[in-house]
């Protein structure tokens, strides 16, 4: 079973790592949601911009040009196509940024790690696991999130002290 000092030390490590995981999740979730939302909205806007000319053809562009007092249909479809191209590029970039960083998988891994560490802390507090097993479980949990740098490591990298 766990010695009192060892138990406290392990619980401190677990709590520190959970703080790091939670800090990561507070940053990653909103960023991932923003990227997804931007990709969805941009795709929808691109479709909407091309829908009029695509479905209505020259009748649509002629009537819009006449309503707006523009010289011809080209003054309607060219800007619409240009805007559709821009928002399509934005949609492609944001969708690929999200995929390239594997955001969803990382968030899920971090959430799982956080749950495992919470459970481990409970087992340690209730003396339900031997020290060597608890340390092994801790190491297994934190190795699942190598992309989360410990805040104490970041402070050391930047030369600041706690």
How far is Cα 83 from Cα 127, in angstroms, rounded to an integer?
63
128: in domain: yes
Is the residue at 162 inside a domain? no
> What's the pLDDT at 161?
42
Domain that holds residue 74: 4-157
Number of domains in the chain: 1
Answer for the pair 111, 29: CB distance below 8 angstroms, yes or no: no
Helices (H), the chain: 4-51, 57-68, 74-100, 103-125, 131-142, 151-157
pLDDT confidence bin for 153, thresholds 50/70/90: low
- Domain presence at residue 53: yes
Query: For residue 111, what pLDDT is reported?
Result: 97
The pTM of the whole model exceeds 0.95: no
Asked if residue 119 is part of any domain, the answer here is: yes
């Amino acid at each position: 079973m766990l010695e009192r000092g060892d138990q406290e030390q392990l619980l401190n490590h677990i709590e520190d790592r959970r703080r790091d995981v939670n800090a990561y999740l507070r940053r990653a979730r909103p960023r991932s949601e923003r990227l997804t939302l931007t990709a969805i909205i941009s795709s929808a806007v691109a479709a909407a911009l091309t829908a009029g000319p695509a479905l209505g053809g020259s009748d649509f562009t002629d009537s819009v040009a006449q309503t707006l007092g523009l010289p011809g249909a080209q003054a309607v479809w060219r800007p619409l196509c240009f805007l559709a191209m821009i928002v399509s590029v934005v949609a492609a970039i944001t969708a690929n940024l999200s995929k390239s960083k594997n955001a969803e998988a990382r968030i899920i891994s971090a959430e799982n790690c956080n749950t495992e560490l919470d459970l481990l802390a409970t087992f340690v507090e209730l003396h339900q696991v031997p020290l060597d097993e608890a340390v092994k479980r801790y190491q297994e949990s934190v190795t699942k999130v190598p992309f989360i740098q410990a805040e104490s490591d970041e402070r050391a990298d930047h030369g600041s002290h706690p």
